[in-house]
Structure 1
Amino acid sequence: MTDILMPKATAVWLVDNTSLTFEQIADFCGLHPLEVRGIADGDVARDIRGADPLVNGQLTREELDKAQNDENYRMQAVVSRHAELLKSHKPAPKYTPVSRRQDRPDAIAWFVRNHPEVTDAQIAKLLGTTKSTIESVRNRTHWNSANIKPVDPVTLGLVGQLALDELVRKAADKKAKDDAKKGGATLQPVDAPEAAEAEPEFVPEARERRGAEPTAESVFGKKD
């Protein structure tokens, strides 16, 4: 694959302004030689305006001269920082064989039942499915809900054991951190119940001080 910008427009300019062969132009622009021949015949890229690779800094004059003097020479493009910026660094979506795609709802159901801490985005990325499919399995609105059974995705051959373990570990760590932030994973101080008041200190009742020996009057009372 070529790294140059506007490959067809560049091919149009090289066809019109150089003596390069179709193979040389095709190799430099990342096109098929027949496509370059179609450009020369006016059947391909008829409305495309040519782009000079010398002016836009994608080819040096020395490289062009070498190629025009030797039809077996293949030109090397100048690496453009703009081309690097335009490249997509997003990883390709996970491909699941057609024979395995019918097993994905079973794997989704396994995640929903056994690992609720794993987010829908993580499941979708691992299994190559969509959030709407995950939601339909969870809510049992999937068209095949009656036949969906939770099955380990490793057993189904959708993912490897190491990838599954890593995903579950990351999800569990994230959940633990979120719980800690919310205070759910920390022990709260136990307050004493309002009804349980401190027991008053026992104070013995003051005993009546006994006087001298009892008298008849104190025992039988006074006579009228």
Structure 2
Amino acid sequence: MPTPLMPKATAVWLIEKTSLSFDQIAEFVAMHPLEIQAIADGEVAQGIVGYDPVQNGQLTREEIARCEADPNARLQIVQSSLPQPKQRSKGARYTPVAKRNDRPDGIAWLLRHYPQLTDAQIGKLLGTTKDTIAKVRDKSHWNSANIKPRDPVTLGLTTQSELNALITSIGAEPVTPVPEHDAA
């Protein structure tokens, strides 16, 4: 169930202006009934100004009256006819400085095992640019002599679940990573 904006301030207003039970208020604002009782006793939220959910379109007077008449009834938040804002994407993926030199190795591994991946898919998965992917592909990267294809999951550039999701989205079979052994 969606919760109202500013739940504590809404709880303050409902305590002061209505005869709803603590349980009804607690369920509506997604707080514990003891928190609601503490607000009513003045132990919590002393400086908080009440936030009127009726004026702000989250409740109606009829809904409050219905729940005041029946202590077992639960408040229902008003569904807005306004479109909900879209979730923003996470943005560019941050790779720590210590792992940035491993990124071309991860790119080379993906290019070797999944040549059907597009540059955009690889770039999104590893947080790199299409230019870097192209340079690794045509071996014109400044560090081409030292690039060794290595699994980007073991390098810590992505998670296994993200890699598997991308691979299954293109209809390929995931490759089981082979543990690397140091020759020591």
TM-score by length of 2: 0.55
Q: CA deviation at 1:130?
A: 3.5
Aligned runs of 1:35-184 on 2, under 5 Å?
35-81=35-81, 84-86=83-85, 88-90=86-88, 108-113=107-112, 115=115, 118-119=118-119, 122-123=121-122, 125=124, 127=125, 129-131=126-128, 149-150=150-151, 158-160=163-165, 161-165=167-171
Q: CA deviation at 1:115?
A: 4.0
The letter for the 2-side match of 1:163 is S
Kindly indicate whether the alpha-carbon contact (under 8 Å) linking 1:110 and 1:152 is maintained by their aligned counterparts in 2.
Answer: no
What's the CA shift string for 1:161-197, capped at 9, x where partnerless? 431348xxxxxxxxxxxxxxxxxxxxxxxxxxxxxxx
Distance (Å, rounded) in 2 between the aligned partners of 1:164 and 1:116: 8
Distance (Å, rounded) in 2 between the aligned partners of 1:39 and 1:131: 50
Q: CA deviation at 1:9?
A: 1.7
Q: CA deviation at 1:67?
A: 1.0
The letter for the 2-side match of 1:89 is Q
What's the CA shift string for 1:30-77, capped at 9, x where partnerless? 333233233223343333211112222221222111211221100111
Kindly indicate whether the alpha-carbon contact (under 8 Å) linking 2:117 and 2:170 is maintained by their aligned counterparts in 1.
Answer: no
Is the alpha carbon distance of 1:148 and 1:4 closer, same or farther for their aligned partners in structure 2, counting shifts above 3 Å? Answer: same
- Residue 98 of structure 2 is matched in structure 1 by none
Report the secondary structure of 1:27's partner residue.
Answer: helix
Distance (Å, rounded) in 2 between the aligned partners of 1:60 and 1:20: 14
The letter for the 2-side match of 1:78 is V
Distance (Å, rounded) in 2 between the aligned partners of 1:8 and 1:124: 43
- Residue 13 of structure 1 is matched in structure 2 by 13
Q: CA deviation at 1:148?
A: 6.2
Distance (Å, rounded) in 1 between the aligned partners of 2:80 and 2:59: 10
Gaps (5+ residues) in structure 1?
Answer: 94-103, 167-224
Kindly indicate whether the alpha-carbon contact (under 8 Å) linking 1:2 and 1:30 is maintained by their aligned counterparts in 2.
Answer: no
Q: CA deviation at 1:131?
A: 3.5
Report the secondary structure of 2:84's partner residue.
Answer: helix
Report the secondary structure of 1:40's partner residue.
Answer: helix
Kindly indicate whether the alpha-carbon contact (under 8 Å) linking 2:107 and 2:149 is maintained by their aligned counterparts in 1.
Answer: no
Number of paired residues? 142
Distance (Å, rounded) in 1 between the aligned partners of 2:32 and 2:147: 51
Q: CA deviation at 1:27?
A: 1.6
